[in-house]
Amino acid sequence: MDCNRFFVLMRHEEEKFNVMGAKIVSNNGKKTLHGVHAPHFKNTTELVPEVMPVPEKVYISLHQHMGAPCEPLVKKGDTVKVGQLIGDTSAFMSAKTHSSVSGTVEAITTMTTSMGGTDQYVVIKTDGLQEVSEEVKPPVVTNYQEFLTAVKNSGLVGLGGAGFPTFVKFNLKDLNMVDTLVINAAECEPYITTDYRTCMDKTKELLAGARAIAKYLELKDIYIGIEDNKPKAIELLEKETKDDPAFHIVSMKASYPKGAEKVIVYETTGRVIKEGQLPFQAGVIVSNVTSVAFLGEYLETGMPLVTRTLTIDGSAIANPKNVVAPIGAMFEDIVNFCGGYKEEPVKMLMGGPMMGITIYTDNLPMVKNNNAMLAFGAEQAKVYEETACIRCGRCVRACPMSLMPAAIETAYKLKKEDELKALKVNLCIECGCCSYVCPAHRQLVVTNKMAKRMIAPKK
């Protein structure tokens, strides 16, 4: 489990930053939750995303979302086009799968995923023509139900990393339950800059998507939360929304994990998502900024989710870039578009260094909710020996949820389930702040995760 978190990456930089304290502090009169000041390493901030060439093959997973996997709607030998529906299911909790390329289906096969499980994949040999399917048409949307249908048909999932089917999030029993949209543009993970590029390059689509969500879900306020280390984006968004009173651009103090759901809702609206609650129970819909921009674009063009912008960076990458890649492209092909590796990659991550997933090879296909692929050489990938807890309390001071990770670790080892519940381990957002600041290099966030599983209702 240790290798699934990469907190040691930035430890050599830690002395340059002060760790924030626990609970709530004042930020120029505004209340702000705690976290850590991790180095930003936003090397690709000003690099406009580049569209990579269509690879020879793509491997499109039929399970790129939370919930039930899709069943294939195509077979070996079939010709497919860009935007064509190739996977679907009758299950409610799911998301449609579309072809990102034109070409011929070479196989329907089972492959090992980045998480170690197995999923079905549609393997397509591309023809390089990128012919668009006749199915691709702008949706007709005049009411809430038509809006839900459009979102479902788009194949959209949470592009911030969660992969939650977006139409499920928007499917409310009573629209009176929510009145506010919070758009997450914090992008607090080091290295990743794709959401920033969305704010800068797809401002029109972002605002169109936000207004559509607010219109059909009958929301009164739209908050865009963004860290104050992105002044150009803040200035642009304020300029473009100055005549619309529904929009509130909230500049948040740059610290990690400002993009966590509970944190950004509190810091933009002042509302608290309690233990066991979902955002709608606090009257809020939360959506990633790139998800909202995609929706704005889809409502205009009808092109479903078939490409994704990723940040490719890290000390082992020859030419870090933001890359627009077709869903199902191999990470190896994407890295080669960035000049390949300039040194042997010792550690590769799908996502950021704080919450990303360690991958064992770059011979894996990209899925919808991938926002980065990072590769690091030996110097940045050092693994430190875990030593005894010295009861310094740094984990407590860093936790944005004001938890006590060291106490949780002890209760977990002693299998004291009642104590774990009393310590509110289910409030843990698995941000990794505790492990990041621990001078003993203890894998506290991994323990928290396992503790949550220990007290989960038994099936």
Q: Give pLDDT, residue 370.
A: 94
Which residue is associated with the tokens 């090397």?
A: 43
Which domains occur in the chain, in start order? 2-39+384-455 (no CATH), 57-126 (2.40.50), 144-301 (3.40.50.11540)
Distance CA 27, CA 40 (A): 20
Determine whether 107 is exposed, middle or buried from the number of CB atoms within 10 Å of its CB (0-12, 13-18, 19+). Answer: middle
Pairing of strands 321-326, 307-313: antiparallel
Closest to 236 measured CA to CA, from 280, 196, 271 = 196
Residues counted in the chain: 459
Of 28-42, 234-248, 374-388, which range is least confident?
28-42
Closest to 194 measured CA to CA, from 368, 346, 63 = 368
What single letter denotes the amino acid at residue 238? E
DSSP tally for the chain: helices H, then strands E: 13, 19
Which residue is associated with the tokens 């099936």?
A: 459
pLDDT tens digits along 377-412: 998 888 889 999 999 999 999 999 999 999 999 999
Q: What pLDDT band is residue 18 in, cutting at 50, 70 and 90?
A: very low
22 Cβ contact partners less than 8 Å away, ≥ 6 residues apart: 34, 396, 397, 398, 399, 402
pLDDT tens digits along 302-312: 999 999 999 99
Q: Give pLDDT, residue 31.
A: 67
Q: Give pLDDT, residue 133.
A: 98
CB atoms within 10 A of CB 441: 16
Q: Give pLDDT, residue 13.
A: 43
* 360 neighbors 298 (Cβ within 8 angstroms): no
Radius of gyration of the chain (CA): 22
What are the start-end ranges of the H helices in 30-179? 144-154, 166-170
Dihedrals phi, psi of 4, to nearest 5 degrees: -80, -5
Of 31-40, 44-53, 104-113, 303-312, which range is least confident?
31-40
Distance CA 402, CA 426 (A): 12
Determine whether 77 is exposed, middle or buried from the number of CB atoms within 10 Å of its CB (0-12, 13-18, 19+). Answer: exposed
Distance CA 179, CA 219 (A): 4
On average, the pLDDT of the chain sits at 91
**What DSSP designation does 157 have?**
B
The model carries a pTM of: 0.91
369 Cβ contact partners less than 8 Å away, ≥ 6 residues apart: 64, 65, 157, 158, 159, 160, 161, 162, 163
* 397 neighbors 22 (Cβ within 8 angstroms): yes
CA 357, distance to chain mean position in Å, is: 12
Determine whether 104 is exposed, middle or buried from the number of CB atoms within 10 Å of its CB (0-12, 13-18, 19+). Answer: middle
119 Cβ contact partners less than 8 Å away, ≥ 6 residues apart: 61, 62, 63, 69, 110, 111, 113
CA dist list (Å): 20 to 49, 256, 447: 33, 10, 22
* 112 neighbors 81 (Cβ within 8 angstroms): no
